[in-house]
Amino acid sequence: RLLLFSLLVLSLPCLSHAQFTTTNIAFAKRDDDANFFPDDTNTLFLLLGRVTSPNFSTNATEIYIQDTNDNMGILVFSSGFVIDTSQYKLGTEMFVGGYIMQTNGVRAINPTVSGLVALNDTNELPPAPASSTIASLLAGAESNEARFVVVSNVYLVTNTWPTWNNSASLSITDATGQI
């Protein structure tokens, strides 16, 4: 991993190793003052995580990654380029360099050029989802942001499942609550 980090840094002539702060996702996106915005938007971070979503955009990069050590996730967001989805598949591991930002209420890392994104491991090993309940998701929404979770034993309360190529607002419930 150190070699890949060095290659990533060396491939960026405008940046030096000293400019990156290598850390985990939880530290980079922290909100210690509880104001719903990241505490540090001025440090250039280098994060490592496994891809937990497809690219949600056709004209930008909008995927989620999760740190497999602490199960914290973050949005990788850039309007400057579209990620190559043939390489960055669910479960692959990637390095991302950029500044932490807030977009549409979600904390994200913003690699402004494609050179700040590098594939580290092509093995498709998605992180295990964190087990949760609806009540705990509602109580800790910010701490679960961008995190891969599973809620078991849920059922549909209202409406019906949408037909193919359609969408609908659905309410689900488990023994602890409803959303």
86-112, pLDDT tens digit by residue? 888 999 999 999 999 998 889 999 998
Paired strand residues for 102: 107
pLDDT band for position 132 (50/70/90)?
A: very high
Residue with tokens 């050029």: 113
Helix/strand/coil for 98 = strand
Cα gap 64→174, rounded to integer Å: 26
pLDDT above 70: percentage of residues in the chain: 89
pLDDT band for position 18 (50/70/90)?
A: low
In the predicted structure, residue 3 carries a pLDDT above the cut 50: no
pLDDT at 6: 47
pLDDT at 161: 82
Mean pLDDT rounded to a whole number for the chain: 86
Contact (CB, 8 A) for 147 and 131: no
**Average pLDDT of the segment spanning 132-145:** 89
In the predicted structure, residue 17 carries a pLDDT above the cut 70: no
